[in-house]
A and B are shown apart, each in its own frame.
Chain A
Amino acid sequence: MISAHRLTKRFGEFTAVDAIDVEVRRGEAFGFLGPNGAGKSSTMRMIGCVSPPTDGSLRILGLDPATDGPAIRARLGVVPQRDTLDEELTVRENILVYGRYFGLSRAHVRAKADELLEFAQLTERANSVVEPLSGGMKRRLTIARSLVNDPELLLLDEPTTGLDPQARHVLWDRLFRLKRSGVTLVLTTHYMDEAEQLCDRLVVMDGGRIVAEGSPRELIALHSTREVLELRFAADDHAPYAAKVTDLAERVEVLPDRLLLYTDDGDATAAAVQRRGLQPLSVLARRSTLEDVFLHLTGRTLVD
């Protein structure tokens, strides 16, 4: 579906995407993970044929975006990071008009609009204007709108950012259904639970480069341990404690408020800590998540 080789995007001196290689196969859900400014959105815009690559090669659906942009976009669905709904139109008109941009017949988009409003659970709001809708509703409408041309490939840029948990779960459910019906999903996110829920395969981007690639399970196995033990001590500085436990885990990470011990058996490590006579305020043994991988790979420095 997507084949990128040494794909690069530069804005003046700044390199947003630095020679990445990506292959996305038909029917899979593929994720781009990364902190802000990692180059995810720039990559998505290139795939969406609204931003010409500076260098490298890019093929989408077997076509070249530089010459076949309109033909590719005709087969894509795009859910941008920020909702770009048409606030001068009603909910239903948003779908109708968007469908017409694809050159679809009026009769076709009318039937399609009813179907998509149903899918997005917006039938009752069909004739409402867009502005008063909740964030979740607007997001569902944006997704419904992106499906008007029955896309083979759906691009979602941070689909659930800013939504409450209920709205996120409704959205995930809709995306699962799409995937089951054979639509290829490509999404960016910085929510690790979202990536674990939705993605078959993902890449972690940092500073415009791909720093890891694989299924969520593979990435955890490769870049983290099976479990993580979190220790919190009654101290402002946790570094001295780290020295005392460093041999008990594969890797120890010092955070301002706690220690993370990467280990294959959290409970056993906790018992070993107790035997050393250390008295943490709290002890938590948990499974390793994609978040641990992500933070390990991209660092804990705050990116704005």
Chain B
Amino acid sequence: MSAVNAIARALPIPAGAGLARTLVERNARAFRHGWVTLVSGVFEPVFYLFSLGVGLGALIGDVDAGGGRMIEYAAYVAPAMMAAAAMNGAVFDSTFNLFFKLKYAKLYDSVLATPLGPRDVAVGEISWALLRGLLYSTTFLVVAAAAGVVHSWWALLALPAASLIGLAFAAIGMSVTTYLRSWQDFDYIQLALLPMFLFSATFYPLSTYDESVRWVVQVTPLYHGVAMMRDLMLGDVAWGILAHVAYLVVMGLAGLLFAARRIERLLLR
């Protein structure tokens, strides 16, 4: 008996019943009662685009997008805004919302009494964060295209790219949330997000930094999200983009497994 237990617990993948979609369905129903949160997710990147890209961009003029190709600043910064919005949306969903469900609503206590397992919880919550993110990024892409800052059909791939960024950050966000004790701890998350938002070659190219510090930027995840997104939306696609994709895929899957493990530790004691 205890041997079987030991084996079951040693398996790297926490148990699930393949019913994660029912949790997505639950979230969709709950969302219908509180759709207002949608508004901020849709407008945040749009506001940034017009304020920084169009407004500040008028002062900056055209910038070098690499290889001497000059483009207007709004087109340069738009992909970064989309990447950052994908990050923010995913983190918000997988931290604040998840913390509430975990600590106050005790949602997963009742969910885990059904056939659903911790893996279903992790997959279901992250899928939901991705669905919401897809809605945000689609809206943004439409607005950006209408504003004339999208120059390539490659930009359509920015949608799955935004989902990939969402996966990576939602998985990490969920893992981190399982360690939080109170609402005050959320300041640590802001402390990590804000510098990433500002310094991940979001508003200016990586070459602005001295060579000695570039690697610091290059190990952070948002840098890869921004770089991937910019390549796609400017139609500047080369094999190198796969490195960014690989970074985010690994981060997403590892985070997902870890989050499921943590949910198991916390709730199935």
A residues neighboring B (CB under 8 Å): 11, 48, 50-58, 64, 66-67, 69-71, 73-74, 76, 78, 80, 82, 84-89, 93, 97-98, 100-103, 129, 149
Contact = CB atoms under 8 A, between A and B. Distances in A.
A80 B113 contact: yes
B33 to A, nearest CB: 6
Contacts of A87: 105
B208 interface: no
25 contacts: A50-B112, A51-B268, A52-B8, A52-B9, A56-B1, A57-B1, A64-B1, A66-B1, A67-B8, A69-B15, A69-B117, A70-B115, A84-B107, A84-B110, A86-B26, A86-B30, A88-B105, A89-B26, A89-B29, A97-B25, A100-B26, A101-B19, A102-B114, A102-B115, A103-B19
B268 A52 contact: yes
Contacts of A71: 115
Given A76-B113, A80-B113, 8 more contacts: A51-B269, A56-B1, A84-B110, A86-B110, A101-B111, A101-B116, A102-B115, A103-B17
B5 interface: yes
A46 B113 CA distance: 11
A74 B19 CA distance: 12
Q: Counting chain A CB atoms within 10 Å of each CB, which of B2, B19, B111, B117 scores highest?
A: B2
Contacts of B114: 73-74, 98, 101-102, 149
Contacts of A89: 26, 29-30, 33
B17 A66 contact: no
Contacts of B238: none
B51 interface: no
A64 B110 contact: no
B267 interface: yes
B265 to A, nearest CB: 11
Which 4 A-B pairs give the minimum distances between C-beta atoms?
Answer: A88-B30, A101-B114, A84-B110, A70-B115
Q: Which of B106, B109, B110, B268 has the most CB of A within 10 A?
A: B110
B148 interface: no
B4 interface: yes
B2 A48 contact: no
Contact of B110 (A56, A67, A80, A103): A80
Given A53-B5, A97-B29, A101-B116, A86 B22 contact: no
Given A66-B1, A66-B4, A100-B26, A78 B113 contact: yes
Contacts of B66: none
Nearest to A149: B114
Contact of A97 (B26, B33, B117): B26
A56 B77 CA distance: 62
B34 interface: yes
A11 B30 contact: no
A50 B115 contact: no
Given A73-B113, A88-B30, A50 B267 contact: yes
Nearest to A52: B5
Interface string B17-50: 1010011011001100110000000000000000
A80 B5 CA distance: 24
B268 A50 contact: yes
B109 A66 contact: no
A165 B33 CA distance: 35
B18 to A, nearest CB: 9
Nearest to B15: A69
Contacts of B105: 86-88
Contacts of A101: 19, 22-23, 26, 111, 114-116
A80 B114 CA distance: 12
A93 B8 contact: no
A52 B8 CA distance: 10
A60 B22 CA distance: 25
B253 to A, nearest CB: 22
A73 B268 contact: no
Contacts of B1: 53, 55-58, 64, 66
A73 B17 CA distance: 11
A66 B107 contact: no
Contacts of B110: 78, 80, 84-86, 98
Among the interface residues A55, A64, A69, A149, which one has the most CB atoms of the partner chain B within 10 A? A69
Contacts of A98: 110, 114
A97 B33 CA distance: 15
Nearest to B30: A88
Interface string B102-136: 00011101111111110000000000000000000
B98 to A, nearest CB: 13
Contacts of A69: 15, 117
